[in-house]
A and B are shown apart, each in its own frame.
Chain A
């Protein structure tokens, strides 16, 4: 596929979707609580959160299948809050794909164009282009039931992009695929986004998919937005305890007090002692403040028991979780609790058997400091 196949040449920067204080109540339960969000043209934004967090409800409101209780949704400058779904020009890939079982691949893809009453010749041209883009050549006459999961996925994508939607909505489209196919479809999705430049809103509960695909991630929980940030920022600087523990693995240290003495910043944990910051943390640190520190397992390094040094604590190995390329070792440290450390290879399984004592060196340069209330 050459670059001439671009469906939307990159538009000038601007907002494609504006979600303004949108709210959805289900009886007395809150589905989505006053969410505001601006999505830029051509952006790939992921709504991430556990099931029941409101991400699918929010997507349903953008597509028009769910009516908001309050607030408004603006797409391309037009208020579409009360517009019927079929007038919205928003493409959507459903979790179940929702392909029409009584039509073949070609007719599935042509459906949206035919509904727009395009001349037959143009329908054929557009369908052929979408089929080429999704690498579905030769499958035109197949029944959708005869396709594999990955092929169905591509038909669903072709059907959604062929109408040149203003926004593309993806509702957990990878969840029905097996692991290898999922990885491959992630690459294809990201390629598709690059080629088409379509503003894309992707819903998932899988943080791996979110981190690898998105320009920005919207983390949701209990109907409310927890944090909106680029993947790297989200991983390194989570806004609260929920985001910290939802994105990747993280060790939550018990609450401690920030101290600044002779230019050295440290975190004093009761019953453990001071942990020293190599350089004063940029955010969250204030002398005397009570904070909770969050530390990724890759920033906890196992050291030989008895080896002294700054930020070294000793605990007892509880378990090893061997994962091929790396091993996660769980260590119980008095005064802190369970700490996970992550090292490459499997040597640690032999050198520090379960029950042995193991020293852990905390690298606080990447620690995230949050209010004890968060």
Chain B
């Protein structure tokens, strides 16, 4: 007998409504991207493919490549920084150590992106925390340029993405069968060999999904590169913003947004294929 679920439609309604609005918004972006730009007006002209043709210029390709590059760097460094934290978070013997690590790694999620970016500006600036510390220690005479550099942007993005990476990695580490690690030790593997030969390979699915999520997330980063990059480091969202709200060329901003969306989805699909293949080969799941 099929159970009737009278509330099913009602419960689904908010999700459906959200999906419809999102689809409409994306369609609107799509619609704008094929419109003519009328200089000096927010109204758009007739249908054209000129916006897409305009993309084919080195400056735009460069921004796109830089976006990929920064996202990849962020994903890799976020992984390297998060793995030890996640490992300690799962494996710490003392309860208070675990709770302390959980709060330390999750709390940043609840401070807004702007607040966090501003803190990084205070830290990275020429009179910021790092430079004044180094100067007081006598290690440098002239401040190091950290603001408005790719390095500064990546550092802030890494910190921004770490909570998510830590959660994904901790889940993977918690799922490792401790008996497998004991078996490895029993067979003569030293603690470091146990980690490299057993624990790390068994957490590979978590590592891969962490990289994919952080990569895709960073692709759409806006305020961090906007404020710390200060126009010198442009990611695709910053370029779209520039076109849309400084030049007021809404059709071209729409085209850039669309390209950003396609790139994000495309790289997600690509990474999903690669990670799927690796996971099948390891047969971890």
Residues of A within 8 A of B (CB): 63-65, 84-92, 94-96, 98-102, 111-112, 115-116, 143, 145, 159-160, 163
The answer to whether the Cβ of B85 comes within 8 Å of any Cβ in the partner chain is no
Residue in B179, B182, B183, B194 whose Cβ sees the most chain A Cβ within 10 Å? B183
Compute how far the CA of A111 lies from the CA of B189 in the bound complex, rounded to whole angstroms.
9
Extra pairs beyond A86-B188, A100-B198 (8, CB < 8 Å): A64-B186, A65-B182, A85-B182, A85-B186, A86-B191, A92-B183, A92-B186, A159-B187
Contacts A98-B177, A98-B179, A115-B193 given: A86-B185 contact, CB under 8 Å?
A: yes
Residues of B within 8 A of A (CB): 177, 179-180, 182-191, 193-194, 197-198, 201-202, 204, 282-284
Decide: A111 and B184 in contact? CB cutoff 8 A: yes
Of chain A, the residue at the smallest CB distance from B200 is A102
Decide: A163 and B284 in contact? CB cutoff 8 A: no
Decide: B186 and A86 in contact? CB cutoff 8 A: yes
Of chain A, the residue at the smallest CB distance from B201 is A102
Could you jot down 9 A-B contacts, CB within 8 Å? Answer: A65-B185, A85-B186, A86-B189, A92-B182, A101-B180, A102-B202, A111-B197, A145-B283, A159-B183
Of chain A, the residue at the smallest CB distance from B282 is A102
Residues of A within 8 A of B193 (CB): 86, 115
Of chain A, the residue at the smallest CB distance from B186 is A92
Instruction: State how many angstroms separate the Cβ of B67 from the closest Cβ of chain A.
Output: 34
Residues of B within 8 A of A88 (CB): 186
Residues of B within 8 A of A160 (CB): 186-187
Instruction: State how many angstroms separate the Cβ of A103 from the closest Cβ of chain B.
Output: 8
Decide: A101 and B188 in contact? CB cutoff 8 A: no
Residues of A within 8 A of B282 (CB): 101-102
Of chain B, the residue at the smallest CB distance from A144 is B283
Instruction: State how many angstroms separate the Cβ of A117 from the closest Cβ of chain B.
Output: 9
Compute how far the CA of A253 lies from the CA of B50 in the bound complex, rounded to whole angstroms.
101
Residue in B184, B190, B201, B282 whose Cβ sees the most chain A Cβ within 10 Å? B184
Residue in B186, B198, B201 whose Cβ sees the most chain A Cβ within 10 Å? B186
Decide: A100 and B184 in contact? CB cutoff 8 A: yes
One of B180, B186, B198 near A63 (C-beta < 8 A): B186
Compute how far the CA of A116 lies from the CA of B204 in the bound complex, rounded to whole angstroms.
25
Residues of B within 8 A of A116 (CB): 188
Decide: B179 and A163 in contact? CB cutoff 8 A: no
Instruction: State how many angstroms separate the Cβ of A321 from the closest Cβ of chain B.
Output: 38
One of B182, B188, B194, B197 near A163 (C-beta < 8 A): B188
One of B187, B201, B284 near A111 (C-beta < 8 A): B187
Compute how far the CA of A116 lies from the CA of B186 in the bound complex, rounded to whole angstroms.
12
One of A63, A64, A101 near B283 (C-beta < 8 A): A101
Decide: A112 and B202 in contact? CB cutoff 8 A: no
Decide: A91 and B283 in contact? CB cutoff 8 A: no
**Interchain residue pairs A-B with the least CB separation, the first 7:** A112-B187, A98-B179, A115-B188, A98-B183, A85-B185, A102-B282, A143-B283
Compute how far the CA of A96 lies from the CA of B183 in the bound complex, rounded to whole angstroms.
11
Of chain B, the residue at the smallest CB distance from A159 is B187
Residues of A within 8 A of B189 (CB): 86, 111, 115
Compute how far the CA of A96 lies from the CA of B191 in the bound complex, rounded to whole angstroms.
21
Compute how far the CA of A88 lies from the CA of B182 in the bound complex, rounded to whole angstroms.
13
Residues of B within 8 A of A163 (CB): 187-188
Residues of A within 8 A of B179 (CB): 94-96, 98
Decide: B188 and A96 in contact? CB cutoff 8 A: no
Compute how far the CA of A160 lies from the CA of B179 in the bound complex, rounded to whole angstroms.
14
Decide: B186 and A91 in contact? CB cutoff 8 A: yes
Compute how far the CA of A338 lies from the CA of B204 in the bound complex, rounded to whole angstroms.
60
Instruction: State how many angstroms separate the Cβ of B175 from the closest Cβ of chain A.
Output: 11
Compute how far the CA of A101 lies from the CA of B184 in the bound complex, rounded to whole angstroms.
12
Contacts A65-B182, A94-B182 given: A102-B187 contact, CB under 8 Å?
A: no
Instruction: State how many angstroms separate the Cβ of A277 from the closest Cβ of chain B.
Output: 51
Instruction: State how many angstroms separate the Cβ of A201 from the closest Cβ of chain B.
Output: 13
One of A89, A94, A102 near B183 (C-beta < 8 A): A94
